[in-house]
């Protein structure tokens, strides 16, 4: 059935299914990465298919991408809380596990996945401190601040807001 419960004018999120990602701290698979590539809107139904127009694109939208109902999420409010001062006490709550475009490090304004999510108490809009150990044997140092822009059960997408130096894979993250 080409309409499959869809309605004319309905917004759809365009997803590209990417590689599988593993959690470094839990040593388990988090599943496949889904890249949000844009938003489309149903404009008409033909006999064997649905026609949708791309409203917004934030990456390449190509044949084979998945379409799922678009759900508006709350915006992010607040200011960059920074990362100066000592690291929060205790163990890190998670680690950086994935960057887009096969990058090995990122800076301000870029996105990353962390292996913590709703089950660990994370929520959209929450800010995190990212740490790094420059040389084995030296203490960890706070190097960046990030905000959670999307949270799932076991992992979340963050946007790096400010940095002292680049953020790398496996860098530990702490709740503020």
DSSP 98-162: EEGGG-SEE-TT-EEEES--GGGT--TT-EEEEEE-SSTTSPPEEEEEEEEEEE-SS-EEEEEEE
Six token digits for residue 79:
């200011």
Closest by CA to 113, choosing from 25, 12, 39, is: 25
Dihedral, 154, 101, 77, 55 alpha carbons, nearest 10:
-110
For position 4, what pLDDT does the model report? Answer: 67
Q: What is the CA radius of gyration of the chain?
A: 19
Percent of the residues in the chain that have a pLDDT greater than 90, as a whole number:
33
CA 64 – CA 3 distance, rounded (Å): 18
53-69, pLDDT tens digit by residue?
A: 998 887 788 888 988 88
- Give the range with max mean pLDDT: 2-6, 39-43, 75-79, 99-103: 39-43
pTM, entire model:
0.70
Six token digits for residue 57:
């694109």
Residue 1 has pLDDT above 70, yes or no: no
């Amino acid at each position: 059935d080409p309409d499959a419960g869809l309605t004319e004018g309905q917004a759809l999120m365009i997803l590209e299914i990417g590689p599988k990602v593993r959690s470094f701290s839990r040593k388990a698979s988090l599943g496949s990465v889904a890249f949000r590539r844009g938003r489309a809107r149903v404009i008409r139904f033909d006999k064997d298919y649905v026609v949708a127009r791309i409203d917004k694109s934030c990456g390449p939208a190509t044949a084979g991408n998945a379409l799922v109902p678009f759900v508006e999420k709350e915006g992010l409010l607040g200011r960059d809380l920074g990362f100066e001062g000592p690291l929060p006490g205790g163990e890190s709550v998670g680690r950086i596990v994935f960057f887009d475009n096969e990058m090995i490090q990122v800076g301000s304004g870029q996105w990353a996945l962390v292996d913590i999510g709703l089950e660990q108490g994370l929520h959209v809009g929450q800010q995190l401190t990212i740490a790094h150990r420059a040389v084995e044997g030296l203490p960890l140092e706070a190097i960046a601040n990030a905000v959670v822009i999307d949270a799932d059960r076991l992992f979340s997408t963050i946007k790096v807001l400010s940095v002292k130096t680049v953020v790398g894979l496996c860098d530990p993250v702490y709740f503020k």
